[in-house]
Amino acid sequence: MNLIGNIIWLVFGGFLVFLQYILSGFVLCLTIIGIPFGIQCFKIGFLTLFPFGREVREVPGNTGCLSTIFNIIWIVIGGIWIALTHLFFGILLAITIIGLPFAKQHFKLMSLSFTPFGKEVV
């Protein structure tokens, strides 16, 4: 079931979202300051490539105040808009029964794209 969901996801826009996150990650990695944010774009991008069968969870242990500061910067710079976009598409897809699995994936992406520091994809 995960394979079919991932194929449908890729065909209907998942690959384009993946390319956008990867391109953004490369642009952010051009500066030394942007490297941590670029790495988070790569993490989110690879999750958008095949979201079915994977989960997002908190990193075990203490992540420290640096991840909190980076999450605040991420939210202010653009993370809020990315999360709201995933929320919008999640609600839009949740209207239909067929779209419920895809809505669930958008809500998972929303969680990660709002505060990516201190989380891992398993």
> For 55-87, how does the pLDDT look when each residue is reduced to its tens digit (9 = 90+)?
999 988 777 889 999 999 999 999 999 999 999
> Quick one: pLDDT at residue 107?
96
Residue 50 has pLDDT above 90, yes or no: yes
> Quick one: pLDDT at residue 116?
95
> Quick one: pLDDT at residue 44?
96
User: pLDDT averaged over the chain?
Assistant: 93
> Quick one: pLDDT at residue 27?
95
* Domain layout of the chain by residue ranges: 2-121
Q: What angle do CA 59, 108, 29 make, to 5 degrees?
A: 65
> Quick one: pLDDT at residue 64?
80
More confident site: 89 or 63: 89
> For 26-47, how does the pLDDT look when each residue is reduced to its tens digit (9 = 90+)?
999 999 999 999 999 999 999 9
pTM: 0.91
